Amino acid sequence: MARRRTALALGGLALVLAGCGVTQAGQAATADTFRIPQSEVDAQVRAVMAQVQDAPGAPPAGLALATTQRLVRDELVAGKAAELGITVSQADVDAGVAELAEQYGGQAGLEQSAAQAGIPADQIEPFVRSNLLIEGITAQSGGDEAAVAAALGDFSEQVDVQVSPRYGTWDPVGLQIVPGSSVATPAEQPETP
């Protein structure tokens, strides 16, 4: 089986997905099939900031938006894969994580690189799983990435993806959050003793 270095590179996602427009308080994103609480986004932002050793202080303004996009993307990919009957084994996920760890000089290097890409250490496995599912969806569509993007956009409309207005609006054609006029504020930092 060929290795998937290109597909699993932390900075090289082929698709960037998200959603926008939530009316429910406390939710970063919603759909008919999932809810992403703002508290989950905030916790992941804090985890990333704790891991990034050379960037103390407040998180960058776009980190909460990027985190929301990643979480929505994972939900959309998982939902579409389930609809198509595509699954990924834990062994494949483990192999993908091991491959990334090797590529980034070990587990510590992988975790640091992931944090710099806005992914907390405990989200590396879901990141790899999502990318493997994208590969499966792409393979099932004959390698046509435009068809995959269109199918995921249609699926996002089918499940009615919405994100908090603090982030902007959902663009199903571009498969991304289009920032609104207000700046997405970063998660508040916990008080330090």
Q: Which residues pair with 124 in a beta bridge?
A: none
Separation of alpha carbons 61 and 183, rounded Å: 7
Q: CA 154: distance to chain centroid?
A: 18
pLDDT band at 11 (very low <50, low <70, confident <90, very high): very low
Separation of alpha carbons 76 and 36, rounded Å: 12
Separation of alpha carbons 84 and 17, rounded Å: 18
| pLDDT score at 25 | 67
Taken in order of first residue, the domains within the chain and their CATH numbers are: 15-178 (1.10.4030)
Tens-digit pLDDT profile for residues 37-93: 999 999 999 999 888 865 556 667 689 999 998 999 899 999 999 999 999 999 999
- Taken in order 148, 154, 159, 164, the sign of the CA dihedral is positive
Q: How many residues does the chain have?
A: 193
pLDDT higher than threshold 70 for residue 22? no
Query: Could you tell me which residue, 48 or 17, shows the higher pLDDT?
Result: 48
| pLDDT score at 155 | 94
Comparing C-alpha atoms, which of 74, 69, 88 is closest to residue 139?
88
Please name the residues in contact with 91: beta carbons below 8 A apart, sequence gap of 6 or more.
none
Separation of alpha carbons 38 and 56, rounded Å: 22
pLDDT higher than threshold 70 for residue 2? no
> In the numeric block, which tokens belong to residue 66?
């990027």
What is the mean pLDDT of the segment spanning 7-23?
38
Q: Please, where are the H alpha helices in the chain?
A: 5-8, 38-51, 63-84, 90-103, 107-116, 124-140, 145-158
Separation of alpha carbons 119 and 115, rounded Å: 5
Count CB atoms within 10 A of the CB of residue 5: 12
Separation of alpha carbons 85 and 95, rounded Å: 21
Half-sphere exposure of 111 toward its Cβ, with a 13 Å CA cutoff? 12
Look up the pTM and report it.
0.78
